[in-house]
């Protein structure tokens, strides 16, 4: 049954097998036992065009203790700063306004409102991440967002002038309850800014590693339009932004308050021409994923066979997926590095490759580094300029393997 419209017309287009949870990084003691794995099958709804996975892992298991901290990415922080400043100006926000962010993480976005005196509230279900946000001066409630919580917050905190929901809608099992919650928390003249990874970019750039159990849905504007319309909300504007390998940013308001801009009509038409409501693009995507897997393995095995040392950069969820689906384990990659101190000393799920600090690249100078966080390539290459100057090379895996 479709997660959005409830139709039974859902067809599987890609099966990645049984894989571990992408962010369930292992401790040394975890290595003594087996890891849980879950089916990862991608499907297409013939009625509303939503692309989605079929398995639902309980959110309490996925998100209560979370190891992704947005502030470790300079790209994410700058992306958030620009957006917050833009909204402060365009919406005339001040000390009497109210901004709420759902899945507010460590306060990487809300902090920019606090700096200019705009009251904020974060909703972040990961208790460990919420603690850090509070320590940084960001009021944060550690709960899952939906219609019930929204009703309570509207009564106790009032409704919001601006709501943010970035990279969270894809994580939500109850899409309709979540969107109802947004409507409840939104002032009649308020606005919600929502960003979701864009399914068209995922398909065109063969970004199969963004498919994992946390990401239940992969949105087109067509699918979003149907979802919001169901709840008396209208998409007033849309922009394709480069964050997370290509995302849609939509501005949403009550239907009575907003007419859609030309950008919405234009992109909806483009999507129809691309084939968003047809099975073809997604079946072709499955073929490309299989071909990419074969090409990457051939490249890595060839380099290893020639005596090269290979490391990897980025213990992110997409890295877990790529390594496991492509069968790239410790026999090929010696270690993974990541800037997050919360991940260092742990092991990548499934393949169990150790995670260390980036300084290890200069200490050991491996011949090649597989860039698992390819979406942050420019930031990472700049940070690792010395490694490159010494003759090191990066391998970017998508949309086809290439050496930099």
Average pLDDT over residues 37-43: 97
Write down the pLDDT at residue 66: 59
| pLDDT at 257 > cutoff 80 | no
One domain for residues 95 and 124: yes
| pLDDT at 28 > cutoff 70 | yes
Contact (Cβ atoms closer than 8 angstroms) between residue 361 and residue 337: yes
> What is the distance between the terminal CA atoms of the chain, rounded to a whole angstrom?
43
One domain for residues 258 and 373: no
Report if residue 55 sits inside a domain: no
- Helix, strand or coil, per DSSP, at residue 331: coil
Write down the pLDDT at residue 63: 74
Average pLDDT over residues 355-371: 98
Write down the pLDDT at residue 62: 78
Contact (Cβ atoms closer than 8 angstroms) between residue 69 and residue 372: no
Q: 67: pLDDT confidence band, cut at 50, 70 and 90? A: low
Structurally, the chain folds into a number of domains equal to: 2
Least confident of 70-84, 217-231, 233-247, 350-364: 70-84
Percentage with pLDDT > 90 across the chain: 87
Write down the pLDDT at residue 245: 75
Task: Please count the residues of the chain.
Answer: 404
| pLDDT at 256 > cutoff 70 | no
Write down the pLDDT at residue 289: 98
| pLDDT at 226 > cutoff 80 | yes
Percentage with pLDDT > 70 across the chain: 97
Report if residue 304 sits inside a domain: yes
- Please state, rounded to an integer, the average pLDDT across all residues of the chain: 94
| pLDDT at 64 > cutoff 70 | no
Cross-strand partners of 235: 252
Kindly tell me the number of DSSP H helices and DSSP E strands found in the chain. Answer: 14, 17
Write down the pLDDT at residue 259: 66
- What one-character DSSP code corresponds to residue 198? B
Domain extent for 82 = 61-278
- Show which of 253, 278, 303 is a domain's final residue: 278
Tokens of 336: 């993974």
Cross-strand partners of 219: 198
Write down the pLDDT at residue 270: 97
Backbone angles phi, psi at 351, to 5 degrees: -80, -20
State how far the alpha carbon of 222 is from the alpha carbons of 51, 73, 184, 270, in Å: 11, 30, 23, 10
One domain for residues 235 and 286: no
Report if residue 248 sits inside a domain: yes
Write down the pLDDT at residue 68: 60
State how far the alpha carbon of 244 is from the alpha carbons of 70, 111, 207, 316, 320, in Å: 12, 21, 10, 12, 16
- Show which of 217, 250, 278 is a domain's final residue: 278
How far apart CA 240 and CA 255 sit, in angstroms, is 22
One domain for residues 207 and 271: yes
Least confident of 156-165, 177-186, 250-259, 395-404: 250-259
One domain for residues 323 and 256: no
One domain for residues 198 and 214: yes
- Show which of 258, 278, 298 is a domain's final residue: 278
| Residue in 159, 157, 211 with CA at minimum distance from that of residue 181 | 159
Average pLDDT over residues 66-82: 77
Sign for the CA dihedral angle at 60, 64, 65, 66 comes to positive
| pLDDT at 119 > cutoff 80 | yes
Average pLDDT over residues 104-115: 94
Write down the pLDDT at residue 278: 97
**Would you list the DSSP string of 173-185?**
S-HHHHHHHHHHH
Report if residue 26 sits inside a domain: no
One domain for residues 264 and 287: no
Write down the pLDDT at residue 75: 79
Average pLDDT over residues 29-36: 93
Percent of residues in the chain assigned helix, strand, coil, to nearest 5 = 40, 25, 35
Report if residue 117 sits inside a domain: yes
Average pLDDT over residues 110-134: 94
Report if residue 190 sits inside a domain: yes
Tokens of 138: 């960001």
One domain for residues 301 and 387: yes
| pLDDT at 375 > cutoff 80 | yes
One domain for residues 274 and 288: no
Sheet of 10-19, strands arranged across: 10-19, 38-45, 51-53, 217-218
One domain for residues 185 and 232: yes
Backbone angles phi, psi at 211, to 5 degrees: -90, 115
Average pLDDT over residues 340-344: 93
**Would you list the DSSP string of 208-272?**
GGG-STT--EEB-HHHHHHHHHTTTEEEEEEEEE-GGGSEEEEEEEEGGG----HHHHHHHHHHH
Report if residue 320 sits inside a domain: yes
CATH of the domain at 291: 3.40.50.720
Report if residue 75 sits inside a domain: yes
Tokens of 327: 């069968």
CATH of the domain at 202: 3.40.50.150
| Residue in 23, 10, 15 with CA at minimum distance from that of residue 316 | 23
| pLDDT at 304 > cutoff 80 | yes
Contact residues for 74 (Cβ-Cβ < 8 A; gap 6+): 379
One domain for residues 128 and 237: yes
Average pLDDT over residues 95-105: 96
Alpha helices in 93-234 (DSSP H): 110-114, 127-135, 147-156, 175-185, 199-204, 221-229
One domain for residues 157 and 83: yes
How far apart CA 66 and CA 84 sit, in angstroms, is 24
> Against a cut of 0.85, is the pTM above it?
yes
């Amino acid at each position: 049954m479709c997660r959005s419209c409830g139709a039974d017309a859902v067809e599987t287009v890609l099966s990645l097998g049984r894989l571990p949870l992408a962010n369930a990084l292992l401790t040394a003691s975890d290595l003594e036992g087996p890891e849980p794995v879950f089916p990862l099958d991608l499907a297409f709804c013939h009625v509303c065009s939503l692309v989605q996975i079929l398995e639902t892992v309980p959110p309490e298991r996925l998100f209560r203790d979370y190891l992704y901290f947005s502030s470790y990415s300079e790209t994410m922080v700058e992306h958030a700063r620009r957006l917050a400043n833009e909204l402060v100006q365009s919406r005339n926000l001040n000390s009497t306004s109210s901004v709420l962010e759902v899945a507010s993480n460590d306060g990487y976005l809300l902090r920019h409102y606090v700096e200019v005196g705009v009251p904020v509230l974060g909703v972040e279900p990961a208790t460990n991440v919420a603690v850090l946000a509070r320590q940084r001066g960001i009021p944060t409630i550690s709960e899952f967002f939906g219609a019930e919580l929204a009703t309570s917050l509207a009564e106790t905190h009032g409704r919001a002038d601006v709501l943010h929901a970035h990279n969270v809608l894809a994580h939500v099992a109850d899409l309709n309850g979540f969107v109802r919650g947004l409507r409840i928390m939104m002032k009649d003249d308020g606005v919600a800014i929502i960003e979701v990874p864009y399914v068209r970019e995922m398909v065109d750039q063969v970004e199969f590693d963004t498919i994992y159990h946390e990401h239940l849905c992969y949105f087109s504007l067509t699918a979003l339009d149907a979802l919001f319309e169901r709840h008396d909300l209208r998409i007033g504007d849309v922009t394709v932004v480069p964050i997370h390998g290509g995302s849609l940013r939509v501005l949403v308001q009550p239907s009575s308050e907003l007419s859609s801009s030309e950008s919405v009509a234009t992109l909806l038409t483009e999507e129809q021409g691309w084939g968003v409501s047809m099975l073809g693009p997604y079946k072709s995507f499955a073929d490309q994923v299989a071909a990419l897997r074969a090409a990457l393995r051939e490249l890595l095995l060839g380099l290893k066979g020639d005596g090269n040392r290979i490391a990897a950069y980025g213990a992110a969820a997409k890295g877990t997926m790529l390594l496991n689906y492509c069968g790239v384990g410790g026999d090929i990659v010696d270690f993974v590095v990541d800037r997050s101190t919360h991940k260092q000393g742990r092991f990548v799920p499934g393949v169990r490759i150790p995670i260390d600090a980036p300084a290890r690249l200069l200490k050991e100078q491996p011949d090649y580094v597989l860039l698992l966080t390819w979406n942050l390539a420019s930031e990472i290459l700049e940070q690792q300029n010395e490694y490159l100057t010494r003759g090191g090379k990066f391998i970017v895996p998508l949309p086809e393997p290439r050496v930099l």
